[in-house]
Amino acid sequence: MTLNNILKWFRLSILIFLIAGCQSTPKVEAPKSDPSAQKLLNQVQALLKSGKQAAAYRTASKLVKAYPESLEAEEAYLVLATQHQKRSDPVKCKVLLESLIKRPYQLQSPYMAYSMLGDCSSASSDTEAAISAFELAQKVAKEPQHVLSVSAKLFKLYKERGQIGKSLISLKAAYEVAPESQKRNLLEAGLRTAEFQMTLPEISESEDSSLYPFLSPGYLRLSRWYLDQGNTSKARRYLQLTVEAYPESQYAEEASELLNQLSSRERVEPNRIGVILPLSGKYAKIGYKTLYGIQLALGIAPGEEGRSPYSLRIIDSEGNPGLARRGVERLVLEDKVIGIIGGLIGREAQEVASKSQELGVPVITLSQKAGLTQTGDYVFRNALTSEMQVAALVDLFISQLNKKKFALLFPNDAYGTEYSNLFWDEVLARGGEIRAAQIYDPKETDFRQGIQKLVGLYHKEDRADELKARLKIWNQAHNQAHGRKEIPNDILPPIVDFEVLFIPDSARAVGQIAPMLAYNDVQSVTLAGTSLWNTNDLIRRAGQFVEGSIFVDTFQANSDSFLNSPFSKRFKQSFGYAPDTFELRAYDSAMLIKNFVDRGATTRSRLKEELAGANGVKGAMFALKMSRNREVIRPLVALTIRNQKIVPQ
């Protein structure tokens, strides 16, 4: 403790002793009025009335010195203290009032003395002394306006010190005696304080109905925090207190709505599972492929109806994040589903995840969007994430294939930029080099310009000296004797100083890019992609131009083991075509939920706990296990295209 703090503490202790001592030590009445002192006091009052302030103060000072033990001395002290207040000398004011209070007599105007001492202490930045004085003034105040005034001052001082609970106690005292014209302002001040300045621990310790209605927004905030933590019992308690504290408020209205949601969400149909997928619009094809995998897992695929206790409640998100979010609410509150599968696209998946966490329903998302499972402990994911793929690809090229020079050609959309940024960072982190990078419009169909920019064929002026030298050689080889010939467009060769070209795009786009690379003489480069390449559609579109390309996935879509698996055979029998990645992940996700519901997980909280500890659950091709980050762990395999077939690398 510093010397200043020690002195401050000592001075405060003396003041508290003096003030408290005056209250605890029995005091005798002041002597009867002294005629001489009364005469001087009459003069003081007359001088003040006539506006002769200086003369009045001199006379009051004379009275205090000559008759300090008299009854009249108290009023003289107060007059002098008022003088120092007006002269902005709070220290002298404070000293005078402390002298008055420590006299062994009962105060005739205790409220006046204590409240003035509080004002002077506050003006001299002695907050502790001000609070002590105002608290005494509050105790002796008789008039409502006095209670209102001193309580409002205590509210302000306590709030400045961060003692929000005590500040609200003082404000409540002011609120109870305030005229109707002032009550609204005091109420709003209390509500704002509880809503924005009280800490959650302070709110939880303030279950005193004497602080109603101020605590209503604080209780609502605390209940939302408990909902986020998944503690519905405590959330319910504070929602009820929100309503009780201020029934006619907007806070009570919100709390009542949340209480209704809690009641609805606690009612569950264990064999009913929710699905949120884009079944119309741009992503409808993927949406239906996913839905079919879920139906097969639950035994409700075409030809299998009527034999399963499970049913689906399906929401078409149309790829719209807002519709997806509202879909979660409907599935939980109206359809009473035990869990949800869905969220294929980034923003849609984020909305599904956040609303599921808020409502306390387990959700298995299928999106690769980064950070999804960080939303909360009700959010799980079954997807090959961008981080997983990029790390595996770069490790393969640098550590196993000894290729360290890379280039990027990617679409200007969320998927392309996310993968390219991750790839770039991973290459540099592992000691590799990025030699070139080129972006293109996601709607592009002619990739000639983008490829020419990538390999230095577009801005030929940047290679002017080289072009001049090559033209000279060409002209010498094609002199006048051979006749006039047109200069070829490919007189400049492409600059291919990289070994691997990473293209994070679909089979459709790569089917157009790969032939254009060959056309522009980009040779001896390994093409690399994402799991989107794990489809025979890539071979159909790009043919020989993707021979030797490399990508990663969790399984080989056209392998005999996959095509002849019970899963693939059963799927093809029900839906008439061979499944691939989307169907398999959807099937596995539904199998995870089905496995635990079959084993007795009939509440959402129990299902959440079981999913978090999943290990060895039978999937379509291999046993399923959940990581500590609530990601389904699946082995990755490096794939390549050899002789127009997708095979292990």
The per-residue pLDDT for range 541-573, each reduced to its tens digit, is 999 999 999 999 987 767 788 889 999 999 999
Whether the CB-CB separation of 507 and 537 falls below 8 Å is answered with yes
Rounded Cα distance between 172 and 534, Å, is 68
CATH fourth-level superfamily of 387-475+489-553: Response regulator (3.40.50.2300)
Write out the DSSP string of 569-635: HHHHHHHSS---HHHHHHHHHHHHHHHHHHTT--SHHHHHHHHHT-EEEE-SSSEEEE-TTSBEE--
The confidence score (pLDDT) of residue 587 equals 98
ω before 179 within 30° of 0 (cis)? no
Rounded Cα distance between 597 and 585, Å, is 19
Beta strands 363-365; 526-528: pairing state:
unpaired
Residue 473 banded pLDDT, cuts 50, 70, 90? confident
Whether the CB-CB separation of 36 and 55 falls below 8 Å is answered with no
* Residue percentage of the chain with pLDDT more than 70: 92
Kindly give, in sequence order, each residue whose CB lies less than 8 Å from that of residue 530, ignoring residues fewer than 6 positions away: 386, 389, 419, 504, 551, 552
Which is it for the CA torsion 468, 470, 471, 476, positive or negative? positive
Each residue of 315-342: b (16+ CB within 10 Å) or e? Answer: bbbbbbbebbbbbbbebbbebbbbbbbb
Look over the chain and give the mean of its residue pLDDT values, rounded to a whole number: 88
CA 587 to chain CA centroid, Å, is 31
Q: Which helix (H) or strand (E) holds 409?
A: strand 405-411
Residue 580 banded pLDDT, cuts 50, 70, 90? confident
| Residues across the chain | 649
| pLDDT tens digits, one per residue of 209-264 | 778 899 999 999 999 999 888 788 899 999 999 999 999 999 999 999 999 888 87
Rounded Cα distance between 540 and 395, Å, is 29
Sheet holding 632-633, edge to edge: 615-618, 623-626, 632-633
- Nearest one of 359, 213, 366 to 275, comparing CA atoms: 366
Number of Cα atoms under 13 Å in the Cβ half of residue 331? 35
DSSP code for 417: H
Rounded Cα distance between 115 and 230, Å, is 49
Rounded Cα distance between 208 and 244, Å, is 12
- Rounded to 5 degrees, φ, ψ at 274 are -90, 150
CA distances from 26 to 104, 111, 142, 144, 468 (A): 8, 18, 21, 27, 111
The confidence score (pLDDT) of residue 231 equals 83
| pLDDT tens digits, one per residue of 331-361 | 998 999 999 999 998 899 999 999 999 888 9
The confidence score (pLDDT) of residue 15 equals 47
Q: Which helix (H) or strand (E) holds 553?
A: strand 550-553
Q: Domain ranges in the chain?
A: 3-140, 387-475+489-553
The CATH code for residues 3-140 is 1.25.40.10
| pLDDT tens digits, one per residue of 585-608 | 999 999 999 999 999 999 999 999
* SS3 assignment, position 638: strand
Kindly give, in sequence order, each residue whose CB lies less than 8 Å from that of residue 433, ignoring residues fewer than 6 positions away: 404, 405, 406, 427
The confidence score (pLDDT) of residue 27 equals 57
- Nearest one of 577, 546, 523 to 644, comparing CA atoms: 546
Rounded Cα distance between 336 and 583, Å, is 25
Whether the CB-CB separation of 399 and 415 falls below 8 Å is answered with no
Of 305-309, 442-446, 503-507, where does mean pLDDT reach its minimum? 305-309
- Rounded to 5 degrees, φ, ψ at 141 are -65, 135
Residue 481 banded pLDDT, cuts 50, 70, 90? very low
The top-scoring range by mean pLDDT among 59-73, 150-164, 421-435, 542-556 is: 421-435
Mean pLDDT calculated for residue range 143-160: 92
* SS3 assignment, position 380: strand
Kindly give, in sequence order, each residue whose CB lies less than 8 Å from that of residue 541, ignoring residues fewer than 6 positions away: 507, 508, 510, 511, 512
Name the CA radius of gyration of the chain, rounded. Answer: 40
Whether the CB-CB separation of 401 and 393 falls below 8 Å is answered with no
Sheet holding 645-648, edge to edge: 433-440, 405-411, 500-502, 526-528, 550-553, 637-642, 645-648
Residue 488 banded pLDDT, cuts 50, 70, 90? low
The confidence score (pLDDT) of residue 6 equals 37
The confidence score (pLDDT) of residue 489 equals 67
The confidence score (pLDDT) of residue 402 equals 96
The confidence score (pLDDT) of residue 119 equals 93
- Given a cut of 90, whether residue 85 has pLDDT beyond it is no
| pLDDT tens digits, one per residue of 169-213 | 898 999 999 999 998 999 899 899 888 888 888 888 877 777 889
How many CB atoms within 10 Å of residue 209?
Answer: 10
| The two structure tokens encoding residue 103 | 């006299």
Whether the CB-CB separation of 607 and 269 falls below 8 Å is answered with no
- Given a cut of 70, whether residue 574 has pLDDT beyond it is yes
- Given a cut of 80, whether residue 535 has pLDDT beyond it is yes
Rounded Cα distance between 607 and 590, Å, is 13
Angle at which helices 216-228 and 346-359 cross, to 10°: 110
